[in-house]
Structure 1
Amino acid sequence: MNFRTDLAMELEQQHRSEGLTGVESEEWRAGQLSINRIRITQEQAARRIGKPVGEYVTITVPAFSDDVTAAHDEIEAMAEQIARLVGDDKGLVLVAGLGNVQITPDALGPKVIDGMLATRHIQGEVARAAGLEGLRPVAAIAPGVLGQTGVETGEIIAAIVRDIKPCCVIAVDALASRSLERLGRTVQVANSGISPGSGVANARKELSRQTLGVPVVSIGVPTVVDGVTLAGDLMTGRDGLDEDELRARFEPRGCAMMVTPREIDLLIRRAARVISLAINRALQPAISLTDIAALSAP
C-alpha cells in the first residue's frame, strides 16, 4: 500500500524490493540510538521514492513523551548530523521554525525557536564584555502560516534570505509517519530542503537551494499519521482486504483525519527542547552543552 509519510527511511523500505539504483542505505547504532542514513543520488530513484536527491538521516530515540530530561547522547548525535550537513562555513545561519503554534501537533517549529540561541546581534564589544567572542552568527524566526499572516512561509523566508544573506537555512517542521510507533520517536535530518505542510497534504512552496539560493537543512519529528494510512498499516492483508478495498472503505472521510498521540503536548515540548539544544550545539561547538542550556532556556 502507498502509505503517506515524510520519512525517507519508510519510503525506501516501501520500495526496497524493487531493487532501485541510485539509492544507498545504511544503519548503525550509537548506544541506545539507532541511526539510518539514506542517500538518493539519481533523479529516477528520487521520482520513484518521492523524495528529492539528497541525504536523509533518521535517528530513532526513546520516546520524547517518556523522557523526563533531554538526553545528552540524543542531543550530541543530532548535533553531529546537523553540523555535518550544514558544513564548515562559519557564516550566518537562519533557523526557521515552521508551523502553527496554535495547533499542538504542528507547533514543533515555533517551539524550537523559543529555545534558539540567536547571536547575529551579539558582536564586537558586546560579545567581548559577555565573554562570548567567536560566536557563530545565528538568526531565528517563526514565520507562522499562511492562514495567520496572509503571506506564504516561503515568501517570508525568501525575503529574509535576500536581506541578511545567510550561508545556510535550517528549517524545522512537524512531519507525518506511516506508523504510530514512530510518532515522537524519530528525528529526520536532511539536506534536500522541505515543503511546509506536506505531512498533512497541504504542501506549500518548497524551501530548498533551488528556491532560496542557499543550502537548506531540514529537521523534523513525526507527530501525525493520517487515517487511511493508519488503517492500511493495521489492516492490509487482514480479512482479505486489499489496498483498493481499504481505500474504498476509508476514503474520503479517512483522508480528512489526522491521528496524533494523546500526550502530544508533552511530546512537542520535550522534542522542541532537545532539537533546539542540538541545533545550538551544532552551530556553537565551542560552548559546552551545559552553558548552551543555560543561555538558551526558554
Structure 2
Amino acid sequence: MIFRTDLAMELEEQHRSEQIPGIVSQDETVGNLTINKIQITSEEAAQKIGKPIGEYVTVTVPPFSDDVTSANEEIEAMAQQIQRLINDDKGLVLVAGLGNHQITPDALGPKVIEGIIATRHIKGEVAEAAGLSHLRPVAAIAPGVLGQTGIETGEVVSSIVKDIQPSCVVAVDALASRSLDRLGCTVQISNTGISPGSGVANTRKELSKNSLGVPVVSIGVPTVVDGTTLAGDLLQAKEMMSDEQIRERFEPRGAMMMVTPREIDLVIQRAAKAISLAINRALQPKMSLDDIVYLSE
C-alpha cells in the first residue's frame, strides 16, 4: 500500500497486526493531551518499520490553528518529554531550526529559532551581575536550505558542532503525515535524529549521533500530506485500485504533490510559538514559564 509518513506512530499502526518483536507502544493521557511512546529496540524492528532504534514520543494537542495561545499543560508536557530525551541538564545545547522560511509549510524550524532564548554568550561576570548565572548555555541557528545557501544543512550544523562542541543538538523541522487529521495537531519528539527534507521526499544528509558525534533530539509537526498517499487511502478503500494504478493517475511523469491546510500560516505561527516555549522550558527549568514567555517575545 502507498504510504509515506515521518510519524513513527503511523508506521507502528500500519504494522501493528504483524506483532513485530522489538516494538513497544504505549499511550497515556495528561489532561486533554494524549501522549504515545514508541520504543524500537531491535535492528529487525527498525528495518521493518523504517525508523532507527530509539524512542519516539507523539504528543497530540488541540489543533494549533484553533488555539490562540497554547495552554500551559501543552508546553509543560512537551518540555518534560524534551528534557527527558536530552537526559543532560548542564551542557551547551545547539538548537537548529531546519527548513525554508520562505515556504510556509517548511518554515516551522526557522520560526522556532526566533523564540529560542540564546544564552551561550551570557557568562562570567556579566551573567553574575545580571543574576543569570543559573542559565544553561544555549545557541540557536537557522541554517537555511541547500537551494538558498549552496551548503547542505548537515554540513552547516556539523561545522558548528565541531567548533562549539555542544553536549546535544535539538533539531526542529516540519514533517509529513499520512492523515490530514494529524496535520497541525501532533508533535513528534525523538532521540534518533532527523533527515532534513524527508517529509517532501527530498532527504538530505541526516543529523544524528552517528553523523555529528553528539546526541540529537528531533522535534517536528506534520504540516503536509503526500498527495499520492492521501489518494491511496481514499481510492483503495472505495475503488480497490492498486498502488501502480494510483501512481499512474496521481503522479503523471513522476510529478508529486504535497497537500497542506489552508490555515497553514496559523499552524506554523502557533506551533512555532508553542515549541519554542517548550524547548526554552526544557533547557531552563529553573525559570518560570512566565519569565520564559517574557524573554522569548
Fold shared per TM-score above 0.5: yes
Q: Report the alpha carbon displacement of residue 44 of structure 1 after superposing the two structures with TM.
A: 1.1
Confirm or deny that 1:162 pairs with 2:162: yes
Structure 1 segment 74-85 matched on structure 2, within 5 A: 74-85=74-85
- For structure 2, the 5+ residue unaligned runs are none
Structure 1 equivalent of residue 43 of structure 2: 43
TM-score after normalising by structure 2: 0.98
Q: Work out the percentage of aligned pairs sharing the same amino acid.
A: 72
Whole-angstrom CA distance in 1 between matches of 2:255 and 2:130: 53
SS in 1 for 2:136: coil
Decide whether the 8 Å contact of 1:146 with 1:152 is kept in 2.
yes
Q: Report the alpha carbon displacement of residue 192 of structure 1 after superposing the two structures with TM.
A: 0.3
Stretch deviating more after TM superposition (126-135 or 79-88): 126-135
Structure 1 equivalent of residue 60 of structure 2: 60
SS in 1 for 2:232: helix
SS in 2 for 1:256: coil
Whole-angstrom CA distance in 1 between matches of 2:38 and 2:283: 23
Structure 1 segment 196-275 matched on structure 2, within 5 A: 196-252=196-252, 255-275=255-275
Q: Report the alpha carbon displacement of residue 239 of structure 1 after superposing the two structures with TM.
A: 2.4
Confirm or deny that 1:86 pairs with 2:83: no
Q: Report the alpha carbon displacement of residue 127 of structure 1 after superposing the two structures with TM.
A: 1.3
- For structure 1, the 5+ residue unaligned runs are none
Q: Alignment RMSD, CA only?
A: 1.1
Structure 2 equivalent of residue 112 of structure 1: 112
Whole-angstrom CA distance in 1 between matches of 2:252 and 2:93: 42
Q: Report the alpha carbon displacement of residue 232 of structure 1 after superposing the two structures with TM.
A: 1.3
Decide whether the 8 Å contact of 2:2 with 2:228 is kept in 1.
no
Q: Report the alpha carbon displacement of residue 133 of structure 1 after superposing the two structures with TM.
A: 1.7
Structure 2 equivalent of residue 296 of structure 1: 296
Confirm or deny that 1:284 pairs with 2:294: no
Structure 2 equivalent of residue 188 of structure 1: 188
Whole-angstrom CA distance in 2 between matches of 1:239 and 1:233: 10
Which segments of structure 1 move beyond 6 Å, counting only runs of 4 or more?
none
Q: Report the alpha carbon displacement of residue 254 of structure 1 after superposing the two structures with TM.
A: 7.8
Structure 1 equivalent of residue 4 of structure 2: 4
Whole-angstrom CA distance in 2 between matches of 1:254 and 1:267: 29
Structure 2 equivalent of residue 73 of structure 1: 73
Structure 1 segment 126-137 matched on structure 2, within 5 A: 126-137=126-137
Confirm or deny that 1:146 pairs with 2:146: yes
TM-score after normalising by structure 1: 0.97
Structure 2 equivalent of residue 28 of structure 1: 28
Q: State the aligned residue count.
A: 297
SS in 1 for 2:39: strand
